[in-house]
A and B are shown apart, each in its own frame.
Chain A
């Protein structure tokens, strides 16, 4: 809990993302009031907390989408909060994957084009990008849906397409904000099982925001955000 004025706040070699003393307000409303958290390389971390606690804001700060008013965020030894926006944007595209509550697929594109998007934006040729995208359909139990559009798929299918899009470019970190929030519990379980299974196979670090314990139970560890701060839980036996 010291000041965050060092050039890098990343600690040991095992830490890939770290936030230190984050403070951010939206207008007069404080969302984070000194939140600190470390995410280890390869781990699946659940960020839990009641609505309005600041857990999604913390995720967006860790992912370099929001810049905190004070405090520092580091990814792989680089300070995210002080880097130029273009640089941060490139980092998000090349090293991070995202899954949001409701798929947020581009409705005009087919499922495989949606999955290929991060590769296309990264400069991969269309043919190769689509080939890379298609490999995910079998893996996420989506065979036959390659040419479907968002409107022609169920919520669970669309969310798995979004998951494939999040993982297709082999990101270092997958950020997932309530990825099962709009799904029934059986479909949500399938998405979680596939997400954590694929991430572990790929060695991808996952930061998962959820308020559901059954979803958090797929993670290796959880932290709780309460009133804009991260509570570290003392795990006691029994």
Chain B
């Protein structure tokens, strides 16, 4: 959907779309060219984009793609539609804590180690936020708020460990 959205700005070559996708969305996981052209071919097949005539030079990148009214409608609808609120009820953090308590292992040590790991990542994201532009900051903040939520849960759980251990044992 991100590629179709980028195409909604102006008709573009596959190369330009890949470059813009990598700049804004990829974050160290650049889109392979093959995937860009496969996606564009699929969008054309489904009537969401149309390929212009091949320009001189040959090769798949010589085609400029444009979004169709169907494609525009799909982008519009997708942008306004909320994504499901994750239930967050299946998480390794939770499983590790509960299993530790069941097995009589030191859950507190695990929570401390997890806290340190989370904080280290938060420092990296804070660096990214301070050195990057506003787009970088926006993405870094998304990560930071999620890690922050985990840490609040970790602190709350650490404070409840004794009571939890009793409940698990009974």
Contact = CB atoms under 8 A, between A and B. Distances in A.
Interface in B120-167: 120, 122-123, 125-126, 130, 144-145, 147-148, 151-152, 155, 159
A163 interface: no
A65 B20 CA distance: 55
Contact of A217 (B112, B115, B117, B122): B122
B62 interface: no
A197 B159 CA distance: 34
B122 to A, nearest CB: 4
B168 interface: no
Interface residues of A, number: 20
Contacts of A1: none
B119 interface: yes
Tell me which of B109, B117, B123, B148 has the highest count of chain A C-beta atoms within 10 A of its own C-beta.
B123
| B: interface residue count bin | 20 to 34
Given A213-B151, A214-B148, A217-B144, A193 B130 contact: yes
Nearest to A237: B117
A213 B130 contact: no
A231 interface: yes
A36 B84 CA distance: 47
Contacts of B125: 217
A216 interface: yes
B113 interface: yes
Contacts of A217: 119, 122-123, 125-126, 144
B122 A213 contact: yes
Nearest to B120: A235
A227 to B, nearest CB: 11
**Binding site secondary structure of chain A:** loop
A147 B109 CA distance: 52
A217 B145 CA distance: 12
A20 B95 CA distance: 37
Contact of A235 (B116, B144, B145): B116
A236 B117 contact: yes
Contacts of B144: 214, 217
Contacts of B148: 212-214
A146 interface: no
A107 to B, nearest CB: 33
Given A214-B122, A217-B144, A218-B126, A234 B117 contact: no
Contacts of B115: 224, 233
Contacts of A219: 123
A214 B117 CA distance: 14
A238 interface: yes
Interface string A206-238: 000000111011111010100000010111111
Contacts of B147: 213
Interface of A: 50, 193, 197, 212-214, 216-220, 222, 224, 231, 233-238
Given A213-B122, A235-B113, 11 more contacts: A50-B155, A213-B152, A216-B119, A217-B125, A224-B112, A233-B112, A233-B113, A234-B109, A235-B116, A235-B117, A235-B120
9 contacts: A197-B130, A213-B119, A213-B122, A214-B144, A217-B123, A219-B123, A233-B113, A235-B116, A235-B117
